[in-house]
Amino acid sequence: MRKHQKAILYLEDGLFFKGKSLGALGETSGEVCFNTGMTGYQEILTDPSYAKQMIVMCSPHIGNYGTNDSDVESSNVYASGFIIKNESLSPSNWRSSGSLEEFLKLKKVVGIQDIDTRALTVHIRNNGAMKGIISTDDFDLDSLAKKIQNVPSMEGLDLAKEVSRKEKTTLCNVENPKYKIAAIDYGMKSNIYDILLENDSEVTIFPASVSSDEILNYNPDGIFLSNGPGDPAAVSYGIETVKKLLGEKPMFGICLGHQILALALEAKTFKMKFGHRGINHPVKNLKTNKIEITSQNHGFAVSNDSLASNITVTHTHLNDNTIAGIACEDVQAYSVQYHPEASPGPHDARYVFDNFFKMMDSNA
């Protein structure tokens, strides 16, 4: 039986939970938000979209199948903390190469376990996502209350420039690619470019700060706007670049890329109360009237009241009727708020990628 130190989770409204350490020892902070998925904890931890966030897993038992070198969305862990009810002490899976605890220690992630995560989730649902601190060193509530004042709010925070790659990278798995895709990296998950590569594409991934001239000089068949963390309205340079690229090439965006496309089309975004994070979110395709179960991870959304007349809402989230997809045929652009590349799943929305390739074929 592993020994764990005492740990505390302190929230900005003064609520606190005492538990045991999970992973690395020390202190960490960020926005506390919950994920409703029963699986996918390794993908969550390594998804750049979770930068500066401490993730509460709603499922009470986490770590059952261990960790491995394949189920990662990037080479780093971007979540700033991890919060669970119980850790599996004996992970069992033929692909497992280590435990969740070992992975968190290796990546220096501070976490907490043995707290009532369902009560914490209900508190966030009722009061909204809020700043928090996990500590194995400081248990003085007055001290933690002072520290939490210095934790930045997610609203107004540009994190895309922090997680984006710094240099252009070209990927291709075939000798004669059918498509040239320019992908703007605001925090791109590896499973997205894997799907693009599976479709005989050359994918050149550009930093978030790329200019429109650099993209057009590459002369792509299509432009992809990636997912990423933070407040989309704060990514002013990205919005300006996308504005200049509208109508030049077919364009497809996911998550933060969806929000940046909407902002470039003069729409507005807003901070949600607690966001959508999980692999079981129902979305309605308004063209087919079919319901898709989707993977989602976002704390901001596009305002329905701000859409211009040439923008069509293509998908809606059935839990709260927020926008889950838009299209603007005038400039050959569309986007979705959810993750059609979802790993570990579900895969109901994989067809969304097909539309991008059809647009590039039509534009060729």
137/144 Cα distance (integer angstroms): 11
294/192 Cα distance (integer angstroms): 15
The residue length of the chain stands at: 364
Our answer to whether residue 172 is catalytic in this structure is: no
Distances, alpha carbon 146 to alpha carbons 29, 98, 209, 217, in Å = 13, 37, 35, 50
Handedness of CA 92, 54, 158, 304 (dihedral sign): positive
CB 20 within 8 A of CB 114: yes
Our answer to whether residue 341 is catalytic in this structure is: yes
Partnered with residue 19 across adjacent β-strands are 7
Our answer to whether residue 339 is catalytic in this structure is: yes
Handedness of CA 230, 346, 117, 25 (dihedral sign): negative
Q: Which of 4, 276, 317, 339 is catalytic?
A: 339
Q: Which of 12, 202, 292, 341 is catalytic?
A: 341
How do 27-35 and 53-57 pair as beta strands? parallel
Q: Which of 33, 58, 255, 328 is catalytic?
A: 255
**Residues tagged active-site:** 255, 339, 341
